[in-house]
Amino acid sequence: MNQAVSEEHARRLSRLDIEAIEMFISFLKLIGLPKSVGEIYGLLFVSSQPLSMDDLIEKLQISMGAASQGLKLLRSVGAVKVVYTPGERRDHYVADLELSKFAASFIKEELNPRMQRALERIERMEKEALLMEEPEKAVAFQRIERLKHWMERGQKMMPWILRFLVS
């Protein structure tokens, strides 16, 4: 991780750039985003001007494909905006500084769908448990109760977290 950004890149990346990039690689990995996305966002975050895809490819030494896909993802999450630079052919990109967008997207794309599926699953589990014989049956229902309890807890917490983030 300390050598996440190699010497080669240092030619064009400042130390500030590198610190920011490593920081975002580390945090975005936490929510399952690949290194290249962390690199792109990190660099845009510290850059004082908008950067073109070419700038990113050159400074970060990543491929066209990675740059294009990374930007696509970051745009879809609202973490990066396109800036139309008049007289410039290529699009330029800036970081939206609202970091909550990552968390919000994680909740919306990863957490909520799973909770939805979990609720369906719990219903099926209850149906299965009804068919069981008695010593195990009671245990099964107790465990399923537990799951429901945690789901409710999660669902109560989520809007609170979102409000806190957006504030």
Partner DNA sequence: CAGAGATTTCAATAAAAAATGAACAAGCGC
Partner DNA sequence: GCGCTTGTTCATTTTTTATTGAAATCTCTG
Among 10, 16, 64, 166, binds its own copies (CB under 8 A): 16
Binding track over 37-76 against its own copies, x by CB under 8 A = --------xx-x----------------------------
Contact criterion met (CB below 8 Å) for 5 and 27: no
Among 90, 110, 116, 155, binds its own copies (CB under 8 A): 110
Q: Is 135 a residue that touches its own copies (CB under 8 A)?
A: yes
Could you tell me which of 19, 14, 42, 17 has the C-alpha nearest to residue 29? 42
Q: Is 104 helix (H, G, I), strand (E, B) or coil?
A: helix
- Of 42 and 70, nearer to DNA (C-beta) is 70
Which stretches of the chain are DSSP H helices?
7-10, 15-30, 35-46, 53-60, 64-77, 100-106, 112-130, 134-166
Q: Are strands 92-95 and 80-83 parallel, antiparallel or unpaired?
A: antiparallel
Residues touching its own copies: how many (CB under 8 A)? 39
- Of 65 and 137, nearer to its own copies (C-beta) is 137
Q: Is 28 a residue that touches DNA (CB under 7 A)?
A: no
d(CA 17, CA 36): 14
Residue 54 contact, options DNA, its own copies, none, Cβ 5-8 Å cut-off depending on partner type: DNA
Q: Is 36 a residue that touches DNA (CB under 7 A)?
A: yes
DSSP 43-85: HHHH-SS-EEHHHHHHHHT--HHHHHHHHHHHHHHTSEEEE--
Q: How far is the CB of 24 from DNA (least distance, A)?
A: 13
Q: Is 105 a residue that touches DNA (CB under 7 A)?
A: no
Residues that bind DNA (CB under 7 A): 32-37, 52-54, 61-72, 89-91
